[in-house]
Amino acid sequence: MPLLHDKLVPPPMPHCVVARPRLNDHFGLDARVRLLLVQAPAGYGKTTLVAERLPALEQEAAWLCLEPQDNQPERFLAYWREALNALIAEPLSPLATHGDCTSQLEQWLSELPSSRQACRLVIDAFEHINHPDLLAGLVYWLRHQPSWLTLTLLTRSRPSLGLASLRLRGELEEIDLTALAMDAEEAHTLCAEQLSFPPTRVSLERALRRSGGWALALNWLVERTTTRAGFDALVDRLSGAHPDFVAWFDDRLASDVADEDRSLLLQLGVLERFSPALVARLLEGERLTQRVAALEQAGMFIERPDPHAQWFRFHRLFAEYLRHRRHELSVATQRALHRQASQAWLALEDPAMALRQAILADARDDVAELIAQQGPSLLANGAYALMAQGLALLGEPRIAAVPALTLMYGWVSHAQFQFERTARAIGWIEAQLESPPWQALNAEFATLRAQLAINQGNAERAAPLAEAALQSPAHYLATTPLTATSILSEARFVQGYLDESLSRVREVEREARQREDHQRLLWAFCHQSEILVAQGRLQAAYDIQERAFAHLEHAELEHLPVAEFLNRIRSQVLWEWQRLDEAEQAALKGIAVLDNQGERWTLQCHIQLAKVAQSRGDQAQCADHIRRLRKILAEGDYHIDWVANAHATLLAWWQSTNDLDAVARWQQEAPPPALQSATNHFSQCNVRNHARALTLLGRGDDASALLEALEQHTVRLGLVTDANRNQLCLAAARWGAGDTDAASGHLHTALQLASKTGLTGSFLRLGKPLGPMLKRLAAATPLAPLEQSRLERLLVLATRQRDFGSAVQLMLDESVIADIVSRPEVPELIRTSPLTRREWQILGLIHAGLSNEQIAEQLSVAPTTIKTHIRSLYQKQNIRRREEAIHLAGQLLAHIQAE
């Protein structure tokens, strides 16, 4: 039988290959491991991974790629023999003309050497093999395989090779779709290799969440993108219902799934997750659980989130595809399935999933009953967006007629910052409060009114309402007393009474712990952290956050909105300490929590990302975050806390880009500086924003007057962190006005306060003037050792700050590069060995004086990737040293900048 040579060699590598050393541990050549199984659906990069990793790890291997027609004993064994012969000195005996597979494999086992250097036999596309004789023979082979050989199978489906026994004996190593899913670093590298621009971390993280790290989907994104805006837009359209993915999944199902199982998949598509017990409740038919297990084994994009539990879910894109294809079922069938699913979830005591299915079934009576009966549980689990969908289905007339539904409407709209709807619900309450059914919820209604008042900044109205709520028994929401106490604590915080606020929130913590109210307990931790930050105790705030994260993980509540709150305030502390990577990661985690609820909820986390990018001097990323920030601000109506924080970041951006016109426009449109009510960090921030704007516009005396008035509150109320920031702004204002002695005095006071607060990021926000101010202070004023140490560290950090206005930029437009290359004065090597767009970019950054690590940070790729590009650049241009690259870049940049 003639054999095809190309089936016995590794396939050619794609144009762009992302190295994945994090998976190296799976490739250890251990004498105990008989089988390495790489199993995942199509498009996960199984073949590319093994073909790239084995040479990198210097592991000798023979390769065999199978096709459907190889599912015949004679053909398979002929190729198997040829692949093995590549690993041994003496060829195996010819294939026998009679006998079964097991006998033939036994014969060859006896001919293999007893020892040799460890190596692999790689069998690609093993999903084509299901012949019983072949599988039985391979089970026997694995049992007696020599210790120097590791069989490596790449397959879409799970083979019937006694994997359970191998796993229990420690003889099986597995790489599944979870391990194969690309992580953030790998996705960054993929984009860096193929795109001329670095997508923002937010967009890339969102792409990873939507694609599940599926390499095929990420490549689809990259290949169709030419701009950062285009990338963002395509991420928004990344869905299993996109025509490209619909066609791809259609082909997979047509070739791999029988008609009856395709119908089963469509029916299972109504569920976000499922178990054998749930499937048995939902569907009728025989052998359902076995059929579901068979679909999972066949690689039908079914995941098992917990390998130790019998719960499954579809890959996100495949689930979207199934929902898209559900129109093949009649509307009546779909609604019946959803209603059955709702009842099944309710029986399994999961009201959120039950409500989701009732909404999809358009069963309005069921929705009303679920929200009224399960509302407290749904609120406790943060199901705000889901409840909002259900309430929208019911309509306001029906909601306004039922006290419990009105209360739920009020809390849900409040949680989504739709305060006008909350006020409308309170209007319905006040109009019917004399009716006995409404009077029964008096405590709950008073608490809701108090919450709206505090969110409107009216602490004086909120406090008595919360106290009144505590005087009445709660009949519906058992958490009402805790919530009312929390509001009292928040009101005292807004009024500046930090010690009383801290005392009350610790009371909330104790009570929440006793009641096992996890969401309220996490809120109590977060609020304590905010109070401690206001008191200048950032380390204590960080320690409280550590307790909150431990509880968050223990209670498995990472999906709740309060997790975004926790990640956001963690990011704020880390930014102050200039732990930028950690600050960025915390903000990204916060965005991930709320990703499905809409971008408007992530404003605070986007503020943090902009601050981190600016601190790093990453102008492109910072500009993108600022654009996104302004877009989110324009689309919503936010509390002054969020607005003031956003405006502070915008002012820092305009200062760095010297955009004084934007500063002047902001001053005309911003919330006015309310000095009398500046008893909390956000009101202080708003006034401070006005002072910073005045300073930037050359009105340092006016800024100083505003800040001096502001300081009266910080001294009276102990707002230490705000006092520290105010002193920095005063230093900047006096420096800008030419009063350097007063500026040094304020800066000295700020350094003294920083010995307690630990602020660093706020110092660096002063920008270019910080370095000269610190040097003058050091020369003119004796400092305590701790202050001197902090000043020296700030000086180092200040010198590292990048000035956006003076950055040298190399244009990467193809037409510009083509024009440069065509010039007679450009070196011949540039024309004969043209640089890639990425190499042009790196050449410009080398000229700017950045190290490899800094270039890697600037382009959001791994340092090893930069080294690869630099090596290629040097080879093309016959460069041996960095100085030569800098000289070449200087010549080219001079040609560009001359125009």
pLDDT of residue 559: 81
Exposed / middle / buried, residue 362 (Cβ in 10 Å: 0-12, 13-18, 19+): middle
The DSSP element (H or E) to which 733 belongs, if any, is helix 720-736
Report the distance separating Cα 380 and Cα 510, nearest Å: 17
SS3 92: coil
Average pLDDT across each block of 10 residues of the chain; the chain has 899 residues. List them in order.
Answer: 89 85 92 94 94 92 95 94 94 87 94 93 95 96 95 94 93 94 90 78 91 94 85 92 95 88 86 82 75 82 81 92 87 89 89 94 96 92 90 96 96 86 94 91 94 88 92 90 94 94 95 90 95 96 96 86 92 96 94 81 92 87 88 85 94 92 93 92 95 95 95 94 97 95 96 94 93 93 92 90 51 50 60 68 74 71 77 77 74 55
Q: How many whole angstroms separate alpha carbon 340 and alpha carbon 396?
A: 27
Residue 805: per-residue pLDDT: 47
Angle CA(306)–CA(308)–CA(314) in degrees, nearest 5? 35
Helix axes 603-616, 640-657, angle to 10 degrees: 20
Q: Which residues partner with 38 through β-bridges? A: 154, 175
**DSSP output for 751-807:** HHHHHHH---HHHHTT-TTHHHHHHHHHHHS---HHHHHHHHHHHHHHHH---GGG-
Dist. CA 186–CA 18, nearest whole Å: 7
Query: What was the pLDDT predicted at 794?
Result: 94
Please report, for residues 64, 154, 427, 824, the alpha-carbon distance to residue 177 in angstroms, rounded to integers and kept in the order given: 22, 12, 52, 53
Q: Which of 632, 726, 733 is nearest to 683 (CA)?
A: 726
Return the pLDDT at 810: 41
866 touches 852 (CB < 8 A): yes
- Which residue from 482, 483, 524, 533 is spatially nearest to 506, judged by alpha carbons? 524
- Please write the tens of the pLDDT for every residue from 747-769: 999 999 999 999 999 999 999 89
What pLDDT does 817 receive? 57
**pLDDT given at position 897:** 46
How far, in Å, CA of 358 to CA of 390, rounded?
9
Q: How far apart are CA 82 and CA 102, in angstroms?
A: 17
**Residue 2 carries which side chain, given as an amino acid letter?**
P
Count of CB atoms situated within 10 Å of the CB of 105: 23
Say if pTM beats, i.e. exceeds, 0.75: yes
Q: Please give the helix or strand (H or E) that residue 149 lies within, else none.
A: strand 149-155
Give the span between the Cα atoms of 695 and 702, in whole angstroms: 8
- How far apart, in whole angstroms, are the C-alpha atoms of residue 871 and residue 868? 5
pLDDT recorded at residue 305: 79
Q: What is the pLDDT of residues 532-556, one digit of tens each?
A: 999 999 999 999 999 999 999 988 8
Interacting residues of 256 by C-beta distance below 8 A, sequence separation 6+: 156, 298, 299, 300
Nearest to 82 by CA among 73, 74, 92, 72: 92
* Nearest CA among 604, 611, 671, 597 for reference residue 632: 604
